[in-house]
Structure 1
């Protein structure tokens, strides 16, 4: 079986890293098509020997990308087209339908109640999603919360498959030597307290809450891993509060495990998440976690995530919780049951089983493609 993964961009976000981990472990031959923003993860995947096709899409409405994408799908001999993120799901399903591909799967990695992928959800977006969804076979929701939201858009429940994201626990395991070397590179004192966060720098992630929260906690550094449109505003906020010297913005990075090892507390003040992959990765590194939304944890029993605490997304609450942790003493924790529950191996196994099931279902029915070929 030959797979083509289609994704909107390959910057260092959660969906992009999840795709990298999936492709690295799939037993099927896999290639990747990226519509726009090849980015850091594209470089990492190519270095690993993955064939990545850059299609050069200029903006959300650049429908010209359909031509090279359709040509790639038609000529590539792919058995499965698997799209990731909304825009790739839109154009990828259309191109696959035009090329007569039999098995088309779409993963929704970033869909909230009010926003998706940093944009506000509108009635037009819901209608477009419903129309294009019919061109594929099944949509993967990365959490039960995401499945409920898709059903609320009008996607039939029988066409939604919940397959949770996966984490490579070994890759994110705490390493004292890496902690020291990473802190040295970032000029962080070995005994200083580091509050960290990972994610795209966009308004919905609410990283401004963390800057305000640590402003009056002395000898504390905020380490923000990621890049995005909010960077300049966050820098200005830190400057205005007089703590720019205590805020480190690394930009996009493929060294997330090392940066987590350098942290003492992980914080995720976003009020709306589809899964909460960064939280599970932080727990794999043994960090105490403060979060405001994480469906991955909210769908598990309370005792599955010791060391994780849910808070309202306000600077006051995060300030108090961070101060309490410092006062009582911060220590590394063993990986929680939640980490084992969301293993990357299980994720890959379930995705591949879905490909096989859909292929077998399609082979049992005679389907005429737009090109007039039997599939």
Structure 2
């Protein structure tokens, strides 16, 4: 067992995103053996329950105005230096805003610094200008470790940096124990003639998730008059008004359900026939795991989530932003639903590779390596 006692996570917000959910799930496991602190810049929390750890907000709310924004940043930087000083390991998300002060503080106080990369950085860089990009690349190249959530994300990191990093490592996101609970059963739904086919897509309503592709494919399917179909969109975000506009422009009001932010997404997946992901970029794809956990056929774009499907063994893969291919795969799944269910069943059985115990063991091994190297 690792002798390290204190770990500091530095995160932008606790908005209900995939990276935030994964971080909180990991913390809930690590808190058994480690003293955990989470430093959050903005006092935004969309989770109904949180691990019982030391949670520190550097501001009380997200202020507007130039002076207040400067003060928020100053308070955040002060909090970083104060907390880094009395911790053993610092783990920060890959976004640039927290990396610079965290990197400096870790070097100043001689703390082990890990960047946890949840992004495809060559496609979706988390910087705003060339100066930030240079600083970002320098920090990533000089931290103690970069942990990537998939091989796809690691390859993207290397493309972004321009070369491989010896201190880079892949540790997959782990699955919450609720995924393996007795409540999630094998799918008993069928795509029978005359039955409404429910297709679900889950995620933050943001541009990179490309919900427009799903809506345009739905529009073409509706025009074919081949089946009764509903698209359930679970999530909230800045693209909601754009999505609503596409729905209205194409007269899809009777075919689309926008649930908004939900805390029981598994219930919605269980009540659907097919789960799709139309993202332009995806480093891992927790919703794909949730779909397989419910033994639902899954159709995804060719992003990091293909590793979950073992390159098509457990589901269906299409090219990014390919509407025709998405339509054809949906029809293929519906017309061969028993085959699609068998793929999903095998996918469910494969999920043990992402179990909490397996992934936590990798984190523990990393922490043990840190102790050994520091002696």
Same fold (TM over 0.5): yes
Q: Does 2:301 align with 1:254?
A: no
Provide structure 1 residue ranges, at least 5 long, that are not aligned to the other structure. Answer: 181-190, 365-375
Mapping for residues 312-331 of structure 1, pairs under 5 Å: 312-329=320-337
Question: Could you say what secondary structure the match of 1:291 adopts?
Answer: strand
Offset, 1:122: 5.8
Provide structure 2 residue ranges, at least 5 long, that are not aligned to the other structure. Answer: 189-194
**Is the contact between residue 169 and residue 284 of structure 1 (CA under 8 Å) also seen in structure 2?**
no
**Partner residue in 2 for 1:115:** 124
**Partner residue in 2 for 1:22:** 26
**Partner residue in 1 for 2:192:** none
**Partner residue in 1 for 2:277:** 268
Q: Does 2:40 align with 1:34?
A: yes
Instruction: Provide the C-alpha distance between the structure 2 equivalents of 1:338 and 1:123, rounded to a whole number of angstroms.
Output: 42
Q: Structure 2 vs 1, CA of residues 280 and 348 (structure 1 numbering), >3 Å: closer, same or farther?
A: same
Q: Which moved more, 1:307-316 or 1:28-37?
A: 307-316
Q: Structure 2 vs 1, CA of residues 6 and 168 (structure 1 numbering), >3 Å: closer, same or farther?
A: same
**Is the contact between residue 141 and residue 165 of structure 2 (CA under 8 Å) also seen in structure 1?**
no
Q: Which moved more, 1:229-238 or 1:86-95?
A: 86-95
Q: TM-score, normalised by structure 2?
A: 0.81
Q: How many residues align?
A: 346
Offset, 1:341: 2.3
Instruction: Provide the C-alpha distance between the structure 2 equivalents of 1:237 and 1:145, rounded to a whole number of angstroms.
Output: 31
Instruction: Provide the C-alpha distance between the structure 2 equivalents of 1:243 and 1:327, rounded to a whole number of angstroms.
Output: 23
**Partner residue in 1 for 2:146:** 139
Q: TM-score, normalised by structure 1?
A: 0.81
**Partner residue in 1 for 2:88:** 79
Structure of greater relative contact order (alpha carbons < 8 Å, 6+ residues apart): 1
Offset, 1:98: 6.4
Instruction: Provide the C-alpha distance between the structure 1 equivalents of 2:181 and 2:216, rounded to a whole number of angstroms.
Output: 30
Instruction: Provide the C-alpha distance between the structure 2 equivalents of 1:229 and 1:300, rounded to a whole number of angstroms.
Output: 29
Mapping for residues 88-127 of structure 1, pairs under 5 Å: 89-91=98-100, 93-94=102-103, 96-97=105-106, 100-116=109-125, 123-127=130-134
**Is the contact between residue 96 and residue 104 of structure 1 (CA under 8 Å) also seen in structure 2?**
no
Of 198, 202, 217, the match for 2:202: 198
After superposition, give the CA deviation of every residue in 1:229-252 in whole Å (9 maximum; x if it has no partner).
Answer: 111100110111111232222233
After superposition, give the CA deviation of every residue in 1:121-148 in whole Å (9 maximum; x if it has no partner).
Answer: 8644431112333663111111222222
Q: Does 2:198 align with 1:213?
A: no
Question: Could you say what secondary structure the match of 2:153 adopts?
Answer: helix
Q: Which moved more, 1:24-33 or 1:327-336?
A: 327-336
